[in-house]
């Protein structure tokens, strides 16, 4: 017997890391926790996941197949901007949102610098040793990866990923998303003060003991 697995079920399977809670999975894929709870209950009943002081995927090969199915569906319905923030969490490699997107994450979505939906770069820090694998991963979804932002006319679609290779990633989690440190984010915003002045004000309101002054 087999179970038909929809997109949300596939994303749930791919998002689960050993020991995750329902809330953590919901945050990773930006879904309502009630929806994820119902999906997990169904996946558990069908034998795909189990709960033992946290969630666990029973067979890792199911995750690999799920990623291929998700990539195949992307050929018909390309990833949206919101999907782009979720996809890196399925790569099973360390990364952290950085630059513009670190500001977006640390302000909990309260500040988003203007980006054209038809020309939308996503900024992440990765471990340099994983660069080839990241290119292969995003290649599954026909998303360009480069260390510098590319002109729109060089791309196949509106999305691109701009990577910052590092020897190691020192990240924190905010609402389920890995992101570079708050100190690094504030320093980036201060360096680009004209663009991020209001973001710095927002950060000062959310977090205590940070220096946002020039």
Q: Which residues are CB-contacts of 191 (< 8 A; sequence separation ≥ 6)?
A: none
Tell me which H or E stretch contains 124. strand 120-127
Tokens 């890391």 sit on residue: 17
Measured between alpha carbons, how far is 190 from 200 in angstroms, rounded to an integer?
8
Tokens 């969490």 sit on residue: 89
Q: For residue 124, what are the CA distances in angstroms to 96, 152, 156?
A: 5, 19, 20
What is the token pair recorded at 153?
């006319």
Report the CATH fold assignment for 7-76.
Arc Repressor Mutant, subunit A (1.10.10)
CATH number of 81-206: 3.30.460.40
Closest CA to 162 of 118, 195, 119, 207: 119
What is the token pair recorded at 182?
């708050």
Give this prediction's pTM: 0.87
Residue ranges covered by each domain of the chain: 7-76, 81-206
**pLDDT tens for the chain, residues 1 to 214:** 445 567 888 889 888 888 999 998 998 888 899 999 999 999 999 888 998 889 999 888 888 888 888 888 888 888 999 899 999 999 989 999 999 999 999 999 889 888 899 999 999 999 999 999 999 999 999 999 999 999 988 888 899 999 999 999 989 999 888 999 999 999 999 999 999 999 999 999 999 877 766 5
DSSP letter for each residue of 126-191? EEGGGHHHHHHHHHTTT-EEESSPPPGGG-SSSEEEEEEEESS--EEEETTEEEE-HHHHHHHHHH
């Amino acid at each position: 017997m087999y179970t038909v697995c929809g997109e949300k079920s596939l994303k749930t399977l791919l998002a689960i890391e050993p020991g995750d809670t329902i809330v953590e999975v919901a945050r990773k894929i930006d879904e309502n926790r009630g929806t994820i709870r119902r999906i997990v209950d169904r996946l558990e009943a069908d034998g795909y996941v189990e709960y033992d002081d946290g969630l666990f995927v029973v067979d890792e090969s199911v995750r690999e197949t799920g990623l291929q199915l998700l990539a195949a569906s992307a050929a018909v319905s390309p990833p949206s901007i919101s999907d782009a923030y979720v996809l890196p969490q399925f790569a099973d490699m360390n990364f952290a949102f950085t630059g513009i997107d670190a500001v977006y994450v640390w302000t909990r979505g309260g500040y988003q610098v203007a980006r054209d939906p038809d020309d939308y770069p996503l900024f992440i820090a990765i471990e340099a040793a994983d660069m080839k694998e990241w290119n292969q991963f995003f290649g599954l979804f026909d998303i360009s990866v480069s260390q510098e932002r590319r002109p729109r006319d060089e791309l196949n679609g509106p999305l691109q990923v701009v990577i910052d290779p590092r020897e190691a990633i020192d990240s924190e989690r905010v609402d389920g998303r890995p992101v570079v440190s708050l100190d690094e984010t504030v320093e980036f915003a201060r360096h680009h003060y004209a663009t991020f002045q209001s973001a710095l004000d927002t950060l000062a309101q959310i977090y205590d003991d940070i220096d946002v002054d020039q």
